Amino acid sequence: MAKLLLNADVGESHGAWTMGNDPAVMPVLDLANIACGFHASDPDIMRATVRLAAEHQVTVGAHPAYPDLVGFGRRSMACSPQQVENLVLYQIGALAAMCRSEGAALHYVKPHGALYNDMARDHELLAAVMRAVSTFGDNLVLMVPATPDSGPVRELAREHGLQLWFEVFADRAYHQDGRLVSRTQEGAVHHDQQIIVDQALCFAEGRAIRSIEGADLILHADTLCVHGDNEASIRAARAIREALGQRAG
């Protein structure tokens, strides 16, 4: 069974508005993708989330997004590659400052939502994200979607001197080409805990999952995303951790 690092998007509350249950999900994680203020979060929440991750010895990553608080970063925006490079660099720097304040280290970057999906389709945007990560330095790792053919993305990462972590999702449906099914489409998100755990085990064991078109799909990954949006998702995350047997919570 492959070692799969469990990651989750955290620190996505904003002011008096609470998103998810970070204290409950954090003990399950290996990696914490912390929002940087553009799609969610604020300076107080960013620092508190870094502190929470450090308390549980969870590796910290920046979770940059398009500047879209209203749409939670799930809407594509007409940003040029240069603008994408700048906004990613800006957000990495903000979270790095919060890490420094808590004696923690920033280890990786995972873009959020529409930016994550857009860079997977548009390698000019992906190159812009890579330039931002490379420019910041500190040997940060970039998290990208796992695909059946990762060759072009690996080559682009080599050009920028970056290490990659390929990511899969236990609770999302996939197209046969490796793309996630849009959340606007019925069946895009799995809710049954057993289906979620079984899909996680397929990834860890190198077995095929079934695409929404009914074809077998094999994706090789380094990390698996879980969620802590509600009690059911937290139970599923704990069940995945237990099934993988790789880290005590």
249 within some domain: no
Task: Check residue 1 and give its pLDDT.
Answer: 62
Q: DSSP alpha helices (H): ranges in 41-112?
A: 43-55, 81-101
Distance CA 84, CA 159 (A): 18
Distance CA 159, CA 207 (A): 31
119 within some domain: yes
- Cβ-proximal residues to 101 (8 Å cutoff; 6+ apart), any chain: 47, 50
18 within some domain: yes
Please give the helix or strand (H or E) that residue 169 lies within, else none: strand 163-169
Rounded to a whole number, what is the largest CA-CA distance in the chain? 49
12 within some domain: yes
Please give the helix or strand (H or E) that residue 209 lies within, else none: strand 209-210
Distance CA 47, CA 132 (A): 22
> pLDDT tens across 169-214, in order?
999 999 999 999 988 899 999 999 999 999 999 999 999 999 999 9
Q: What CATH number has the domain bearing residue 138?
A: 3.20.20.370
Task: Give the amino acid at 33.
Answer: N
Report DSSP state, residue 211.
P
End-to-end CA distance of the chain: 19
> pLDDT tens across 154-179, in order?
999 999 999 999 999 999 999 999 99
Counting the structural domains of the chain, the total is 1
**How many other β-carbons are positioned within 10 Å of the β-carbon of residue 182?**
10
Strands (DSSP E) found in the chain? 5-10, 31-35, 59-63, 106-109, 141-145, 163-169, 209-210, 216-217, 223-225
Distance CA 133, CA 236 (A): 32
Is-contact 57 26, C-beta < 8 A? no
Predicted TM-score of the model (pTM): 0.94
Q: Which domain holds residue 186?
A: 5-244
- The sign of the torsion formed by the CA atoms of 76, 79, 80, 86 equals negative
224 within some domain: yes
> Which segments of the chain have a pLDDT < 50?
247-249
